A and B are shown apart, each in its own frame.
Chain A
């Protein structure tokens, strides 16, 4: 029984490590705060984990067509960053940019503080609605960051870790008795 539990814990640990490695690419994660009255605040975190170069830009490709953003919208940036709102009907993007190399997002680090308020319910997002791209800090070229991911609450990793710890704790109790 003890051996079986040891194997299970090792398997969970391996899964945790494997799953982390599988997501070790630059990506954008987001959470949503319901502000009431049909208004939602989207909070974005850019994770440049294992990126090829630093990031000096972030673009929300469907800023107007999906999120209804325009020059009148409330848009927040991290310190040292600026933004250009979408200009409907011609320009759909919301563009963020780092004002100096000192505020770029280096490889293997992350930066939060990107936000916008929208009447779009996050539960209605589908397909590539939340497509995002980065801009390389060295090349100034675009870097596909795929689809922004909703931060799991609690995250899968945390759940697995908790399960593993619970298993070890159970083993410990059995030994005492």
Chain B
């Protein structure tokens, strides 16, 4: 038994030596890699991509986009994932840009401007027009133009990021910047908003703020309380611009593509990209954009001490770049760092019994929403107005219900206010365009619901004492 064991041990020796040799070689190789790896660069040490909610700068945005690198069947629509939250959207039909709006068929295809609070203020823009605006060999619809504020005046460093359809590219953060070595997008030919001013710190070209180039008659929709959208069709250069929301634009594109017949949009090779980009931006607007979240830009903030200066809303500290937050005096005689265009909640409630020559109409109003407005006494909302209005006119047996509002405007002084809205309703079961007015002055209330197409009064009257009231509450 003992002899057998010895024999086995003797015969195993070469194998053990081989294992020892291999082990030593492996440890040595690992040590060599550990020592030499960082210097020879053979081991990748890539930083994780910046999360969308943390994107503040051009470099952050590019880092986030590189997290999508390699994604197949990608397009410009994928980049919307990397937008930071709370950006206000403005739609312009202007063609005075390296991203020129256009009209194809019945659809307006504007430039989509985003304005994101900082610091620093961050301003990406897209183009829904699927033709033209070629720069660097890429169509305008396949590029994101990005501005980032560098000073309190809002001057920007800029980048132009091409995302051609196909596999999502790996981007070079420096390669997309507008510099003296390579003009990008909007800066090409000096026709856009560049001041051709060289940065003190680098070879970057700085551009003037976008506002100087925005033509008011071309803005067809905006969430920005410092801008006004047109309310009736207006001449915008060679185009005729008409008020239209992003949701309506996307519907127009979708209907054209899904149409069984031929049409100009359907015939475009990149029609699907246009639809995907529009839908992605609409989803962003409704889920992560300005005035869609509980923590949207606020009308109150941390204490600050440098009146009138740009400030950081997380600390109240003064910053050197435009942030769309400023240090302002509040009603409590203290200074707070608040948004230039804060988002506020509002509620419009009430109803009761209303009379015209003794004839009774009853109404119930329950509306609420979020709206960007610097003045709580005045606002206009045309996005995501929640709630409804119901009314009954006993004289005509007219029931107005399921009112869905597309716009609501109000002005308020103390408890007195007037509100005007428009939308669609079921009037005795028939879908009808309607207009709605409500006022409260002291204890006197009144309302009117009209057919928007015929101006016929559907219900309304003067409120009966103690049995009628409306109340408008707007967040501070």
- Is B360's CB under 8 angstroms from A140's CB? yes
* Residues of A close to B353: CB separation below 8 A: 59, 93, 95
* Residues of A close to B358: CB separation below 8 A: 139-142
- Is B397's CB under 8 angstroms from A56's CB? yes
Contact of A100 among B350, B362, B395, B397 (CB under 8 A): B397
Contact of A90 among B390, B399, B469 (CB under 8 A): B469
Give the distance in Å from the alpha carbon of A91 to the alpha carbon of B365 in the complex: 11
Give the distance in Å from the alpha carbon of A94 to the alpha carbon of B351 in the complex: 12
Give the distance in Å from the alpha carbon of A98 to the alpha carbon of B397 in the complex: 7
Cβ of A92 under 8 Å from chain B: yes
* Residues of B close to A140: CB separation below 8 A: 358-360, 393-395
- Is A141's CB under 8 angstroms from B397's CB? no
Give the distance in Å from the alpha carbon of A140 to the alpha carbon of B393 in the complex: 8
Bitwise, B254-292 to A at CB < 8 A (1) or not (0) is: 000000000000000000000000000000000000000
A154 to chain B, nearest CB (A): 36
Bitwise, A73-115 to B at CB < 8 A (1) or not (0) is: 0000000001011010011110101111100000000000000
B229 to chain A, nearest CB (A): 33
- Is B394's CB under 8 angstroms from A57's CB? yes
- Is B469's CB under 8 angstroms from A91's CB? yes
- Is A84's CB under 8 angstroms from B362's CB? yes
B54 to chain A, nearest CB (A): 42
Cβ of B392 under 8 Å from chain A: yes
Secondary structure at the B interface, as helix, strand, loop or mixed, is strand
- Is A97's CB under 8 angstroms from B394's CB? yes
B107 to chain A, nearest CB (A): 40
Summed over the interface, the residue pairs from A and B with CB atoms below 8 Å come to a total of 65
Give the distance in Å from the alpha carbon of A98 to the alpha carbon of B467 in the complex: 20
- Is B351's CB under 8 angstroms from A91's CB? yes
* Residues of A close to B360: CB separation below 8 A: 57, 135, 140-142
- Is A99's CB under 8 angstroms from B362's CB? no
Which bracket fits the contact residues of A? 20 to 34
- Is A135's CB under 8 angstroms from B394's CB? yes
Chain B positions 383-402 with a Cβ under 8 Å from a chain A Cβ: 390, 392-395, 397, 399
- Is A139's CB under 8 angstroms from B397's CB? no
Cβ of B317 under 8 Å from chain A: no
- Is B364's CB under 8 angstroms from A87's CB? yes
Contact of B350 among A56, A87, A101 (CB under 8 A): A87
Closest residue on chain B to residue A136 by CB atoms: B394
* Residues of A close to B421: CB separation below 8 A: none
Give the distance in Å from the alpha carbon of A142 to the alpha carbon of B467 in the complex: 13
Given A84-B351, A87-B351, the answer on whether A92 and B467 have CB atoms closer than 8 Å is yes
Give the distance in Å from the alpha carbon of A61 to the alpha carbon of B360 in the complex: 15
Contact of A84 among B350, B364, B470 (CB under 8 A): B364
* Residues of A close to B154: CB separation below 8 A: none
* Residues of A close to B395: CB separation below 8 A: 140
Give me 11 other A-B pairs in contact (C-beta within 8 A), A82-B392, A99-B399 excluded. A56-B397, A59-B353, A84-B362, A84-B390, A87-B364, A93-B352, A93-B353, A97-B392, A139-B358, A140-B394, A142-B358
Q: List 5 A-B contacts (CB under 8 A).
A: A84-B364, A87-B351, A93-B467, A135-B360, A140-B359
